Amino acid sequence: MILKLPTKFKASSLFFLVLLFFSLYSFSQGTLEVTGNGNIIINGSSAPNLANLTDFGNVETGSNKNNVFTLDNIEGGGSPNKRLNNINISINGSSDFNPSTSNLGSLKGNETPLNHLISFTPTSSGLKTATVTITFTNGTNSPYTFVVQGIGFDPQPEINVTGLGNTIADGDTTPSAADDTSFGSVPVGSLTNHFFTISNVGNASTNLIVSNNGSGIAVSGGSGYFSVNSEPVQNSIITGGNSLTFSIDFNPLTVGTHTANISIDNNDSNENPYNFTISGTAFIPKPEIQVTGNGTEIVDGDTTPSSNDDTDFGSVNTGSQLSKTFTINNTGNELLNISDISLSNLVDFSLTGAPYSTPVAAGFSTTFTVTYAATTLGTQSSNVTILNDDSNENPYTFTVQGTAADVSYTPVTSGPDWTVTNLTPNFELNNPNTIIYGPDNYLWITERVGKKVVKIDPVAGGSKSVMLDLSGVVYQTGGQDGLMGMAVHPDLYTDINTSNNYVYLAYTYNSSGRKLRIARFTYNVSTGTLNSGSSTTILEGFEASNDHNSGKLQIGPDMKLYYTAGDQGYNQFANACLEIRAQYLPTSGGQTTSTGDKSEYKGKILRMNLDGSIPLDNPSLGGFKTHIYTYGHRNPQGLVFGSDGKLYSSEHGPKVDDELNLIIAGKNYGWPNIAGYYDNQAYAYCNWSSSPTCNSNNFSDHNCPSDITPIAEFDPINNTILSNFQPPIGTYNSTVSTNPSGGFLEWPTVAPASLAIYEAGLIPNWGKSLLIPTLKRGTIFRAKLNATGDGLESQTYEEFHSSNDRYRDVAVGPDGITFYVITDSSGSTSGPSGTNPQSLQNPGVVMRIQYKCLIGASCDDGNDCTINDVYDSFCNCVGELQPDTDNDGVCDPLDQCPSFDDTLIGTACDDGDDCTINDVYTEACDCVGTYTDSDGDGVCDADDICPGFDDTIDENMNGIPDGCETVCEPFTSVFLVNPLTHLGSGTSNTALNLPTNSQDISFTINGIDQVTGGKPTNRYIDLVSVSYVDGNNITQSAGTFSGANASSANISITGIVKAITVNLSDAYDGNAGVTLDVNLGIISYCVLSSPPSSSSRSSKVASSSFGDEFRIYPNPVSTELIVERVSSKSKVNISMFSITGQLMTQIEMQNNRHIIHVDNFAGGLYLLRLTDENGSVIKTERIFIK
């Protein structure tokens, strides 16, 4: 097309139009930008750098390095006018640089940038450079150029030395066992050698030459005890990626630590020679004896037997024997020779085994057994002596002891102080499992077979009422599955309306077989039931069984939920071919409520947060934190916390050794390797499941399969013991020495079904005790804990209550004297007979056992402030409180100071006497202090004229103490006042300075009414004032006098006087000069003062303020807590709770003053609550028991 312009257009217009077309064309072109590693490479750049990849760095000759550069058209839009066309790359300069391709085509503004690779392949060493040129059409900045560079270098060998696979740095001077540079401890005269590896970690084409200069591997220092063995030959070549090995011998001849330096000659350019230090310690071998019992060391010379290390055999029934096995360990590094073991008492103790026939190798052990025969009542002891060749512990001695007891098994409840009542008819409960005293003051019970939570009135008894029916959820077909454990959130016990109104239940359910679930339900205070629709799963999905599910739940003071998981009855009866997993630890962590591997949750006690998650402070077992808290359990059906936070468990034994355990995080409780104590008695582990021919139909309690050998509890030769083993604090029966025979009812076990703890302190001599309901023996046993709660006072258990029944669980009532027991509806028991099967007497009942303490009978509450003391209906010994007239909290019979607050005795006061210090109220109700008379002259320090002298001695009878005569002189003076010149009103004064300790000054000033000249009716002396400085350097006034009223003034000052000043004032305004003479009488001093008069001492009575009508004191308290009602006469209930929410005591306040005995309570914080007859809270107070 030809554009024809009108003729009227001028040349300038034509130029403008051409320029416009050119501009439009230019601004529609593309623009190139090149980056390396995200950094822009400026067009024309001649300074390569590593940041934008234009500097390729150091590259071995013959190898290749590729850098990627990005080409981008930075003009926006996809218009063809802005497209870069015919993009071409060329490289000029070193031929070692090459582009991956030269023609890159075109690039629009909105297209993905192009990545282009440039390779650097140095053919020789040295710096190489080249210029990259990028040309294109339709662009604004073609050509685009920049310089690249790289350095080629020839490959070099690189030496590296390792020991045990770990690198030994060149120049290392700190020998370590990790890299074998430390040879450890070596006996003098013996040789040990360590191997080291020399590697060439350089390029495969390189050669590392060892012994390049002929010096090889050199050893210096070390007293000549180190030497190179199997040294490489001279000029050994190690190609890249390969290695060779050499060894160093250490053969010390003297004791001590020896150090040497290793130097390896090689051709590494910067590590030649390669140096490092080695060391070893030489010693003279010797044996070291150590003796343990129950896994605990017995110190040489120990004379204090303890159950912890088995040196105290405890109480043993007369006629019975008990054996304890002790281990001799050789912790030294030479053979330990034992020449003899002997006992000092061979009447009551005997020794079995002769471990001294063979020396004990270093690191090994042997055992011997001591047997105690309880023949004579009382405690007997024996010294054990071990002769050996330990240089400083020969002989090795310690003391053992045992106590023979004559035990009577008469049930305590058969005595006159107890009543036993069935609250329900037989079979009211369908095989119950757990009973608790609920927060609504009813008994809450789970029915294992009935699949319900029910409640019973603890006073009236009668029929049950259903709180929750789980028949559609719980799966139960066996003897130990169904609805089991129950735990109540502690807040429900302190506030029935709490939002934490949670009840936790454990039960089996069916999900491709039996599984176990722990679920949470909410309590409805209006209906007194559990909301069936409130179920929240806490933990589920781990396997359950028809046997040994355990199933006990507890909430601890740490607000964690604890659950006992049994071993599922594996390795016996129908489960005989399933291996016991109690010793198996988890292989993974991270288990949640419904997910994760819970296959090892067998034979364990679990601990979880209340939402089912894993607590952060759970132990790490098997390398993982899971819900597992302890392991090695068989069938722990009992679980209970003490108020001090200690956790106890009861556990069924196999045929012997039912256990009481103190549960400690991370510990191993032995099963199936150990039953009861670590004593090798009456039990060996027969692993039926390991038999290739295992058949559960052939299972026997008395014989192992022919192809299985029972495993003893420990190996007496090698003394192997389980890791983390925690022995029980008590067993039943630990005195059996052989595997029991006969039927299970004849075995020395009692089948402990649960566990409760008594801490109320109301039953004489009970202290802190564990109550153990049993199934086989139809007995509830009591085991008293020791003072620290980590053991039993005796291994002899009191038979608390017995009958031909299977006692499933027991709960302690809040009154501290009532116990509620549930019994199985079916099953076998021997009853107290201990052998023959018996029919159940009270199947499926709630039984109330109460310490009645002869209600209404006279007693002594130990309080002198009460009279007519009797037992009330709550078994409290209470009396009529006698008056407290002065209202000081001390009743009149005990009031030392009537009308005085006795609680002030011992507190500070002021008796008003300057002669005493540290004044306090005494038991005589006086405010009395310590009299201060430093010189002992009968004159207190505050009044003493002559400190350090006896002020009462005046042998010359001059009225001056002899001790003061050296400083006090008689003094008499006529005092003349300076002339007073009348120049208008004026004053005149005269000072009289007296000797130190002047006292009791008296004198007379005469003529103060003189009148002269001028106006005869006026007096010229208007005012006389006298001041003095006392013994404390304080100026005091001795009086003022006027001549208008008197002609003289008598001055008398009592006490110490250091100076006197007399002031005269003239009131006449005239010009006549007048001289007035004022006479002073005799001035006397150093006259003893009369003794100070006694201060009046009046008693002080502190007023009491109660704040409201009740007074609760003292707080903190150690023995007796007093609740006092000032005015109200309404019915008041007193409840006291532990910090975990457990109701400790609940009583009705019968009188205006009630005493709660707390000396048997564990120390700590408690909650005291006063409620009226409608249950409304009157007063709540935190009590701290010391």
Q: Which residues are catalytic?
A: 548
Helical ranges in 734-814 per DSSP H: none
Tokens read off for 830: 């021997």
Backbone φ and ψ for 289, nearest 5 degrees, come out as -90, 140
Tokens read off for 512: 């491709």
3-state secondary structure of 321: strand
Distance CA(564)–CA(551), nearest Å, equals 6
Distance CA(197)–CA(839), nearest Å, equals 79
Residue in the block written with tokens 């303020």 = 1105
Q: Is 1182 exposed, middle or buried (0-12, 13-18, 19+ CB in 10 A)?
A: exposed
DSSP state string for 33-91: EEEETTEEE-TTB----TTTT-EEEEEETT--EEEEEEEEE-S-S--GGG-EEEEEEEE
CA distances from 822 to 8, 555, 687, 842, 1104 (A): 124, 21, 35, 9, 50
Entry field: residues in the chain: 1186
Backbone φ and ψ for 941, nearest 5 degrees, come out as -60, -35
Q: If you compute the radius of gyration of the chain from its CA atoms, what whole number of angstroms results?
A: 51
The terminus-to-terminus CA distance of the chain in angstroms comes to 114
- Cis preceding-peptide flag for 814 (omega within 30 of 0): no
Tokens read off for 285: 């071998």
- Cis preceding-peptide flag for 672 (omega within 30 of 0): yes
Tokens read off for 678: 């670590």
Q: How far out from the chain centre does Cα 275 lie?
A: 49
Bridge partners of 503, per DSSP, are 488, 521
Distance CA(496)–CA(509), nearest Å, equals 30
Distance CA(400)–CA(1077), nearest Å, equals 107
451: how many CB neighbours lie within 10 A of its CB? 20
Backbone φ and ψ for 1130, nearest 5 degrees, come out as -75, 165
Contact 1186, 1165 (CB under 8 A): no
| AA identity, residue 455 | K
Taking every pair of C-alpha atoms in the chain, what is the biggest distance, in angstroms?
160
Contact 326, 368 (CB under 8 A): yes
Tokens read off for 979: 């002339």
Q: Which of 188, 195, 175, 196 is nearest to 251 (CA)?
A: 188
Distance CA(1110)–CA(1112), nearest Å, equals 7
